[in-house]
Amino acid sequence: MQWDIYCRVVDNFGDIGVSWRLARALAQRSPHAVRLFVDDWATLRRLLPRAPAVPAPFVDSKVSVQPWAVAEVPTTLADCVIEAFGCALPPIYLAAMRDAQTPPVWINLEYLSAEDWIEDCHGLPSPDPATGLAKTFFFPGFTARSGGLIREPDVFSRRDAAQAETGRHQWLAAHGGADVSASAQWISLFSYDNPRLVPRLTDWQVSETPVVLWVPEGTAWRGLMPWLGESHAAQTCWQRGALTVCALPFLSMADYDRLLAMCDVNFVRGEDSFVRAQWAARPFVWQAYPQADAAHVDKMDAFLGRYLTTADTESAAAFEAMWRDWNGLGAQEQAWQRFSAALPTLRQHARQWCDQIAATDGLVERLVKMVQPDVK
């Protein structure tokens, strides 16, 4: 069976990150061929440095990666075509689907949500007015009635290796300065622009215990560098009171997963890192992608409602206060101090939550069952 996935890059690395993970997981989990069509080659090359400098088809991890232009001329139709996040298929491909004797199964991969309403919409077909073909909506989510989450077969073995006693020392040998402590509280930061960053930096600077903040290359540096009094990352590590800030280059997906697994707390954003933080089974703080109509607040509240169901009242309150503060929903008094005090309990809860959502089929298994219900 041939699978085609189409991705237009809109949100920096979010759209392509999810699409690449899905393509790779499909190729790993099923005996089928997978093609991934991408419109932004420069962004793709940041994730996949082995991609040709000039857009051209290549194969990585059994996935055939194609420039978008390949689909703007006649090409073979897949058995299943996945339109990532309503990106709109090339007109010539749509025309071929319409004229085919047996049209492909057409899936619209939606954004991840914990909201209740997605369960009633997941798996529903909708007729496309331009072609008359049925397009099925696939909603990733956290319940049995949703599309699930992308989960590679080796995600937990890699996590456990990173969390072994030698994990941090191995990381420091490759990325850390001589003065970076393996026993300090480690925090990772991956965020959009956020005015609440400075209060957190101040909290960590005056912390009673040493804090190491790992910051991969990206948007977070725009808020961080002025606070450090630097115009650019001219060095690797900076010391400010109890806080050590460590600059990292752009990380591969595998190295970012490894960093999440080793840190005591992870600040993440968007969709892909949000899911990866949950597989890391460590406490995390999510920055939802800000939307003008405040829809991101509904998404955040829906997730908190699910995630904190079994948490004790005090820990749940500290967790929610930290998230609301970080998402600009009103400064919460002593937000970090309360969150930090609750970390031992929140760490246990993070592992329990990870085990809970890993106990059911992942997104790929649910997708294959939807497309091929008779295949075991």
Residues designated catalytic: 15, 271
Distances (CA, A) of 309 to 105, 223, 255, 324: 37, 34, 31, 17
Using alpha carbons, select from 166, 109, 119, 167 the residue that is nearest to residue 145. 119
Using alpha carbons, select from 262, 358, 263, 352 the residue that is nearest to residue 308. 352
Phi, psi of 215 (to 5 degrees): -125, 100
Cβ neighbourhood burial of 44 (10 Å; 0-12, 13-18, 19+): buried
The residue type at 348: Q
Q: Taking the CA atoms of the chain, what radius of gyration do you get in angstroms?
A: 22
Q: Which spans in 104-216 are helix H?
A: 118-121, 155-162, 167-175, 197-205
Using the Cα atoms of residue 316, residue 349, residue 272 and residue 213 in order, give the sign of their dihedral.
Answer: positive
Q: In sequence order, what are the residues at sequence separation of 6 or more whose Cβ sits closer than 8 angstroms to the Cβ of residue 228?
A: 238, 240, 245
HSE (side-chain half, CA atoms, 13 Å) at 320: 18
Using alpha carbons, select from 17, 126, 119, 157 the residue that is nearest to residue 366. 119
- Which helix (H) or strand (E) is 221 found in, with range? helix 220-228
